[in-house]
Amino acid sequence: MPSIQKQYGITVKEALSLDVVNRLEVVGGKEGLDRIIKLVNVIEVPDIMDWLIDGEFLLTTGYSFREYPELMETLIPRMSQAESAGLAIKTKRFLDEIPKQIIDSANEHKIPLMEVPYDLSFSEIIAPILGVVFNKQNKILQKLEQAHKKLMDLALNGSPLEELCKETGILISNPVAIVDRDGSLIVNEDCPDKYKFELFFSDVSVEIKQEKLRFGNIKEVKYSLEYAPDTDKPLTIKAIRIPIIADKYEYGHMVSVINTPIYEPDILTLERAATIAALEFTKRKAIFEIEKSYYNDFLEILLSADFENADEIVSRGRVFSIDLEQPTTVVIINSSGLNEIKDIENYMNMNGTRSKEDLLKTISGFFRQNDIHSYIAGFKGNNIVIILSADIEQKNELKDTVTEMARYLINSTSLGTNINIGVGRVNNDIKMISRSYEDAREALKIAQLSDTAQVIFFDSLGFYKILSEKNRSELESFIEELLQPVFEYDRNKKGELIKTLETYYDNNRNLKLTSSKMYTHYNTVLYRIKKIEELAGISLDNPDDALNLEIAVNILKLFRNSAV
């Protein structure tokens, strides 16, 4: 990265244009004259190779080569590995001329090799080079100090994140934005490159390159090149992304789109800005935790009906922006994907395990987008519980709202099909909220029994309400005991007995309709029904057998279908 390193020094070619230094003669490694000199050192001992560093320009009288000739084979390769800047040898004292072996090695490794006139002292070479280098490095320190002061002022004044992005962009001469953990873009509205950030994180962007860079002791950052269609021509977007992390939790990324060259001090400035952003996110999280505690306390009162004065609770509800005088329903959300994050790798993976807090924020995001304000949400055990209210005339729309919310959560989170939702009955009495909560719990149990039914409404359960008291293994045992011979017959004969049985009950036990729905002859359906009776050892003429069989079929529908 010569362009980045050059901020800390000058190229060998530039050094050779300085007074006095211009008396050095380049005898090898001319292809490496763009190497950067960041410091100058004199070597006269053999163990110097253990201390070679990046950007070092070495001076020597050649004494070590005379005493230790093996250095002529190893020094230049080791300098190349260390990314040293160059080597200058003073002849006529210990060496009459620079050995061809060293010149050839310098050419091979592109390490600039120079001959120093005998009458020129090393101090005359070192002074002008370090003068320029120190001046450049001092300017960098001043720039970093100014950036630090500006960023600290923003932090102390409690400036919004949009302002932090704007000022950081000015400091590094490139636009800056923040993308939080939920994928929301935070950027100054006046930013002319806002559309680039939107393209960068859109679904149409395709990553074409990703590198990991490390500058000195700073953290590793990601440098990505992405391609995105922009009207009728392609657009290549370069960006640097730095994680915003506090207390092992990743809140998002600070991102800079690279329109002009970016250097190490700019990345250091970005990291400091990311630290300040982390403080702001931490503050927001603390406020969220306090609010969550208040919400949870009030939620518990409503769900337990632990109050005497309903009017007082209605008044408290208005503080939480929910109108409890209107019809309400209780929604319970559970997911097997809601795990506590216990290691930093998961915290730092934007696509990793989501916490309950993340899901609750996503739910709040759905309500904001749909301009829904009359609700209260919080945690109860491993579940998220929501109380929704609506105007009398919108009472029937509550079910549609919950259905849309479920679809939104499935599409917006990594939890996907892990989400189960139980919905209680709508009630007009505040004291019935606890009853709706119990309804929602029963509905959730049924949702968790099903393989694919993610949203279950209690008032649509019908006879399934009685199943909520049973666990899945008990229900599976009931089916197994009754229909195991039928399952085996279908497996061995590739039959359709179970399918026929389900169609039979779907059509109110009408053989003619069943044969029509299955595009099968009436006698074939009749034969299959008789075969089922034979295999299961039952008779459909027996009311108990008929009821048990119908219950088994409905349980199968629960396990296999989402339409409950």
Decide if 218 is inside a domain.
yes
Around Cβ 552, how many Cβ atoms within 10 Å? Answer: 22
Sheet containing strand 249-257, strands side by side = 185-186, 176-180, 249-257, 233-246, 221-230, 206-213
Encoding tokens for residue 172?
Answer: 């590094």
Distance set, CA 443 to CA 24, 203, 276, 427, 459 (Å): 87, 36, 45, 16, 9
The pLDDT of residue 509 is 85
Residue at which a domain ends, from 416, 434, 463: 463
Decide if 250 is inside a domain.
yes
Residue at which a domain ends, from 252, 283, 314: 283
Spans of the chain, pLDDT less than 70: 1-8, 204, 206, 208, 211-234, 336-355, 392-395, 413-417, 449-453, 462-472, 474, 558-564
The pLDDT of residue 342 is 37
My answer on whether 192 and 113 are in the same domain is no
In contact, 48 and 125? CB cutoff 8 Å: no
What is the domain-level CATH number for residue 276? 3.30.450.40
In contact, 313 and 288? CB cutoff 8 Å: no
Decide if 299 is inside a domain.
no
DSSP H or E stretch at residue 44? none
The predicted-structure confidence for 455-500, as pLDDT tens digits, reads as follows 888 877 766 665 655 566 767 777 887 888 888 888 888 888 988 8
My answer on whether 212 and 115 are in the same domain is no
The pLDDT of residue 242 is 87
My answer on whether 224 and 315 are in the same domain is no
What is the chain's Cα-based Rg? 37
Encoding tokens for residue 514?
Answer: 């069943």
Distance, CA of 522 to CA of 520 (rounded, Å): 6
Give me the domain span that covers residue 65: 2-135
Number of structural domains found in the chain? 4
Decide if 148 is inside a domain.
no
The pLDDT of residue 349 is 36
**Among all chains, which residue has been given the structure tokens 């253990």?**
50
Does pTM top 0.75 for this prediction?
no
Encoding tokens for residue 399?
Answer: 């079910």
Distance, CA of 109 to CA of 87 (rounded, Å): 12
Distance, CA of 37 to CA of 137 (rounded, Å): 12
The pLDDT of residue 392 is 59
Distance set, CA 497 to CA 127, 261, 474, 488, 492 (Å): 96, 71, 23, 10, 12
Decide if 146 is inside a domain.
no
- DSSP conformation class of 219: P
Residue at which a domain ends, from 415, 431, 463: 463
